[in-house]
Amino acid sequence: MDTHPDTATSTDLRVLEPWPELSALVREKTSNLDTLEDDEHGHIPYVLILLHYLERWKSTHDGKPPQNYKEKAEFRETVRGGARTNAASGEEENFEEAVSAVLKSLNPATPSSAVKEVFAAEECQNLSSNVRGPSNTSSEPCY
């Protein structure tokens, strides 16, 4: 498994709408964030760091994530402030990744242009119960 994939393939992390199990994991791993040993603190996955600080942000902003560039920049500084600068190991790379991911990760999920094109197609717009499948005369399914 590539632990540092190309950012173009991993920018839609759905951090604005985490599923319940992910939220539970965030609470479990970050509930005592300030008192963790340096080694443990430096090894929290950056997605969990983002979600932890996002929940803190939302608690003071009417339940809303950062809405614009100014707020995202402020949020980024909040995340940056959570990194330990005096850790003996000096390993706060995951906090650096979280800081770097703020602008690209705090956007609402939207379908790609290819998906939008499919839904805009005539076949999707005018559905009927008289749809014919591919002209396949064998009993094998057509894929």
Q: Residue 59: in which H helix or E strand, if any?
A: helix 46-59
Interval 40-58 mean pLDDT: 93
Closest alpha carbon to 56 in 38, 70, 74, 36: 74
Identify which has the larger pLDDT, 26 or 110.
26
Residue 140 lies in a domain: no
Alpha-carbon torsion, ordered 106, 109, 112, 115, to 10 deg: 180
Total domain count for the chain? 1
Residue 107 sits in which domain range? 11-114
Q: 44 in a domain, yes or no? A: yes
User: What is the pLDDT, as a whole number, of residue 142?
Assistant: 44
Mean pLDDT comparison of 20-34, 86-100, 119-133, highest-scoring range: 20-34
Residue 40 in this model has a pLDDT that exceeds 80: yes
pLDDT tens string 70-119: 999 999 999 999 998 876 666 788 999 999 999 888 888 778 788 888 88
In a domain, 135, yes or no: no
Q: What is the pTM of this model?
A: 0.72
pLDDT over 80 at 132, yes or no: no
Residue at 123 is within a domain: no
Q: Specify the pLDDT at position 124.
A: 85
Q: What is the structure's pLDDT at 140? A: 52
To the nearest whole number, what is the mean pLDDT of the chain? 83
